[in-house]
Amino acid sequence: MPETESGRCDGIGAEEGRRLCADRRGVATHLIRVGIIGYGYAGRAFHSYLVPLSKGLALEAIVSSSADKRQRITQERGCRAVASVEELLADPAIDLVVLATPHDTHADLAIRALHAGKHVVTDKVMALTTEEADAMIAAARTSGRMLSVFHNRRWDWDYQTVRHVIAEGLLGKPYLLECAVMQDRLPGGWRRDPERSGGMLHDWGAHLIDHGLSLVPSKVVEVFCSVVHATADVAVGNLAKLVLRFEDGTLYEVCLGNMARQSKPRWFVLGDRGSLRKEGLDPQEVAMNRGNIDAATEDPALRAVVRTKLGDLSAEIIVDSVRSSWRSYYDNISAHLNEGAPLAVTAESARRVVAVLDAAGAAIRGGHGVSVSI
C-alpha cells in the first residue's frame, strides 16, 4: 500500500478511521488520525509540522475559530480545517487530539477530549494547578485513554549532553546545576497575562523544571522563587529566579529573563569531581522554522566544556553535543499507541512540574522558601 509524503496511506479515507498501513520495514501499524486544536505558533510551527513526520500518525484536521487561519491551514498543511472544538471531538475518525492552546484551557479541553474517547497530547505546561492536573489524570484513567504532555525539550541537544556527561561520571556527583534562558524579547498576546499563561515560569520554565526533575534522582524538599518586574506593563515580570533543593542536598537553579541584552551560560554544573559549562540554545527550532528540523546544526564554539580529574591529572574536555531530535516525542506517541511501547512523557511526570510551579507561586507570594515533598 503506497504511502504519501504526509504520512497517510493512499486508498484510506477519513471515515475508515484507523486502518493498517506498512512502515518502511513492512510491519503493520495502525494509522492514528490526529486532530490539533489551535493554529497559533505552537500549533503551526511545532505540532502540525512534527506529527506528519512520525510513522503511524496522520494529520487529519486542525481547529481554528478564525476563517483566515482555516484558509491557511488547508493551504499550508493540506488537511481539513475545522471551525469548532465540538466538531472535532464528535468526529469518530479522530483518535488523538493535540492541544496547542493557551495554558488556562488545557485542563478543560483535555478532560472533554478524554471523555469523548480521544487520546490526548497537551502542550506544556500541563495545567495551571495540581488540582487541574489531577482531574486530567483521573479523566484519562476513567476513559482508558492516553494522556501525555509535549515536553519536547527532553530531546534538546544541550540537555541530552548534560545527561550524557553526568552518566559518564566526568563530574562525579553533581551538587549544583544552574540553567538559564536569557532573551531580549517581551512576551506577547495571552502570554503577557498571568491569568491565562500562569506567569514567566510556565513557558520556558516548565521545560527547565522538567529537566531538573529528570536529572536529579531525588525528591524536591524546598522551593524558593522570586520574580522581578522591571517594567510596569509586563504583568508576568521580566526576571524569574527559581531554586529547588533536593533531599540529597543537590541545588537546581533556573534563571529566566525577557529583557536581557546579554546571555548567561545555558548550563553550569558543579560536581565533586568536575564541572561543565555549556553555551547556546538548542538549534532545532531555527531549523524547523526553515522547513527541515533534520538540518539543525550547532556552532562548534557552543560545545560543552568539561573540566575534570582523570586519575591524578586535571583535564579539559570539549564535548560534542548529543544530537537528539524533537521528532522522538511523536515517534514515541505512535509507538505507544500502536505497539504498546512505554510512554516517554507520562502525565504523572508532567504533574511534578505543575506541583513545583504551585510551590513557586506560594514562595513568590510569601517571600520565602516553601517546604515540599515532590
Q: What are the residue ranges spanned by the domains of the chain?
A: 14-150+328-344, 154-324
**11-15, 248-252, 338-342: range with lowest mean pLDDT:** 11-15
Give the pLDDT confidence score for residue 248 in this predicted structure.
98
Angle, helices 204-215/157-167, rounded to nearest 10 degrees: 10
CATH 3.30.360.10 corresponds to the domain 154-324: yes
pLDDT grade for 29, boundaries at 50, 70 and 90: low
pLDDT grade for 232, boundaries at 50, 70 and 90: confident
Let me know: does 274 contact 171? Beta carbons within 8 Å.
yes
List CB contacts of 265: < 8 A, sequence separation 6 or more.
178, 180, 277, 278, 279
Instruction: Please say if the pLDDT value at position 100 is more than 70.
Output: yes
Please give the share of the chain, as a percent, with pLDDT higher than 70. Answer: 92
Report the half-sphere exposure of 288 (CA within 13 A, side-chain side).
18
Name the DSSP class of 320: P
How high does pLDDT run on average in the chain?
92
Give the pLDDT confidence score for residue 180 in this predicted structure.
98
Q: Where are the alpha helices (DSSP H) in the chain?
A: 41, 48-50, 67-77, 85-89, 106-115, 130-143, 157-167, 194-197, 204-215, 284-289, 327-339, 347-366
Nearest-angstrom CA–CA distance, 196 and 57: 30
Residue 104: what are its φ and ψ, rounded to 5°? -75, -5
Give the pLDDT confidence score for residue 367 in this predicted structure.
95
Instruction: Please say if the pLDDT value at position 24 is more than 60.
Output: no
The pTM for the full model equals: 0.91
Instruction: Please say if the pLDDT value at position 151 is more than 50.
Output: yes
Let me know: does 140 contact 114? Beta carbons within 8 Å.
yes
Instruction: Please say if the pLDDT value at position 60 is more than 50.
Output: yes
Tell the residue number behind the cell numbers 487541574, with chain if given.
132
Which CATH code is given to the segment(s) 14-150+328-344? 3.40.50.720
Please give the share of the chain, as a percent, with pLDDT higher than 90. Answer: 90
pLDDT tens sequence across 301-333: 999 999 998 888 999 999 999 999 999 999 999
Instruction: Please say if the pLDDT value at position 7 is more than 50.
Output: no
- Report CA torsion sign: 170, 174, 178, 181: positive
Give the pLDDT confidence score for residue 279 in this predicted structure.
98
Cell numbers of 108, please? 478543560
pLDDT tens sequence across 193-219: 999 999 999 999 999 999 999 999 999
Give the pLDDT confidence score for residue 311 in this predicted structure.
85
pLDDT grade for 10, boundaries at 50, 70 and 90: very low
Instruction: Please say if the pLDDT value at position 19 is more than 60.
Output: no
